[in-house]
Amino acid sequence: MKILLTGGAGYIGSHTAVALIEAGFEPVVLDNFANSHPLVLDRLARITGRPVSLERGDVLDTAWLQDVLRRHRPVGVIHFAGDKAVGESVAQPLKYFHNNIGGAVSLMRAMSAVHAEDTTLTPTLVFSSSATVYGDPASVPITESFPRSHTNPYGHSKLVIEDMLAAVCAANPAWRVGTLRYFNPVGAHPSGLMGEDPSGIPNNLMPYVAQVAVGQREHLNVYGNDYPTPDGTGVRDYIHVQDLAAGHVAAIQALLGRSESFTVNLGTGQGHSVLDVVHAFEKASGRPIPYQIAPRRAGDVAQCWADPALALRLLGWQAKHSLDEMCADTWRWQSANPTGYRG
Ligand code: NAD
Ligand code: UFG
């Protein structure tokens, strides 16, 4: 059974492709490589022992997407493709509205058109949403019924896409949609062959810490140590990308097995501070992580972690990997590939 992965060459998509193969599915990777490298396909083949199909192109091209859907007839689509840098979205909002919202519209239109031609194909979609849709939460842990808000155009794009999906499902009950709100994805494939490969200076904590450990950056800036948290630094729900990948398999299986759509958090339910991550990474790498306390980063919240109970109840899924494993796997990837896929 084929599953089309838009953005499948990216960080989360590539790990999900492996998990799908291990679960007996046949992933088809669709990507324009705007934020990934074609070498990912070689790594996928090395890990899984088989070639993975690639469709190189842009989700904004609706006619081409229809052609891809007609040729492969996937039983489901997982929509990862999009831009994800919060700061860039503030500087270039139209890029985010165009690629993220426009890409989702294009995909929904293509899936609707192909479904209209052949109603034996049920439009089945898993969407990469984010805990960013909770804005600055009033309390933790966060359940799916918390109010949604946005603090930047990236978050706004996720919120709009969630609403568009709800409207499409309301208009056509044939649609089955699983919306997954990821918390903070980190880690890498345990083989050390695949991991996160940010271009330029990393915005996110774990890849920055990994680059400090490998000697590419001098020190970490810790953005604020005066938050109302146990050690004063920001607290997040870091989730191993392998657990996240398993969550996508569970979501696809649930949608193929029953008719209702759902929205669930994918998180561990545990918060870790910036300094917890620094210390865990020092342990995993055996290297010191020098850091300096810097001012708070605009737009950051003090703490954010999931209540993952609904995902367990609906999908039978829960995260298994510890922060130590997240750091150990990140370190294996980073030390074996200090400049990522670019070699
Ligand atoms: P990523 O950038 O590694 O992967 C996205 C992929 O989509 C890339 O391979 C890129 O080349 C591709 N892409 C972008 N625009 C495209 C287009 N128009 N046509 C075809 N391909 C296109 O990002 P990721 O971390 O794997 O994130 C995947 C999804 O999960 C994104 O939608 C992101 O917003 C969401 N998400 C990520 C995080 C995170 O921290 N990584 C957190 C919450 C949600
Ligand atoms: N941090 C530092 N120094 C750094 C980078 C981050 O101290 O160099 C701190 C931040 O202040 C925060 C924590 O590390 O307290 C985590 O920051 P990240 O940038 O790794 O992650 P965020 O929680 O800010 O954002 C991530 C994704 C967003 C997503 C959000 C909610 O980047 O796309 O999680 O899911 F919206």
> What pLDDT, in 10s, does the model give residues 178-228?
999 999 999 999 999 999 999 889 999 999 999 999 999 999 999 999 999
Query: Does 76 have pLDDT greater than 90?
Result: yes
- Which residue is catalytic, options 96, 154, 208, 238? 154
Q: How far is CA 209 from CA 204, 236, 277, 305, 333, in A?
A: 9, 15, 8, 21, 13
Query: Does 35 have pLDDT greater than 80?
Result: yes
Does the Cβ of 196 fall within 6 Å of ligand 1?
Answer: no
Ligand 2 centroid to 203 CA: how many Å?
7
Q: Which pLDDT tens digit goes with each residue over 112-144?
A: 999 999 988 899 999 999 999 999 999 999 999
Ligand 1 atom index nearest CA of 12 = 26
Mean pLDDT computed over 151-160: 96
Burial of 273: CB neighbours in 10 Å, binned 0-12, 13-18, 19+? buried
Ligand 1 centroid to 128 CA: how many Å?
8
Mean pLDDT computed over 225-244: 98
Does the Cβ of 33 fall within 6 Å of ligand 1?
Answer: yes
Q: Which pLDDT tens digit goes with each residue over 267-323?
A: 999 999 999 999 999 999 999 999 999 999 988 999 999 999 999 999 999 999 999
Which structure tokens are listed for 265?
A: 């958090």
Mean pLDDT computed over 150-167: 97
The predicted structure's pLDDT at residue 75 = 97
Is the bond preceding 141 in cis, omega lying within 30 degrees of 0? yes
Mean pLDDT computed over 72-91: 96
Does the Cβ of 100 fall within 6 Å of ligand 1?
Answer: no
Q: Which pLDDT tens digit goes with each residue over 82-102?
A: 999 999 999 999 999 999 999
The predicted structure's pLDDT at residue 302 = 95
The predicted structure's pLDDT at residue 342 = 81
Does the Cβ of 99 fall within 6 Å of ligand 2?
Answer: no
Q: What is the pTM of this model?
A: 0.98
Do residues 179 and 165 touch, judged by C-beta distance below 8 A? Answer: yes
The rounded distance, in Å, linking the Cα atoms of 175 and 79 is 15
Q: Atom 35 (ligand 1): residue with closest C-alpha? A: 128
Ligand 1 centroid to 287 CA: how many Å?
30
Query: Does 265 have pLDDT greater than 80?
Result: yes
The predicted structure's pLDDT at residue 299 = 87
Q: Atom 19 (ligand 1): residue with closest C-alpha? A: 58
Q: Is 154 a catalytic residue?
A: yes
Q: Dump strand ranges (E) for the chain.
A: 2-6, 26-31, 53-56, 76-79, 124-130, 176-182, 184-186, 220-223, 235-236, 238-240, 262-266, 272-273, 291-294, 303-304
Mutate to test the pocket of ligand 1, among 29, 80, 105, 179 (most ligand atoms within 8 A of CB): 80
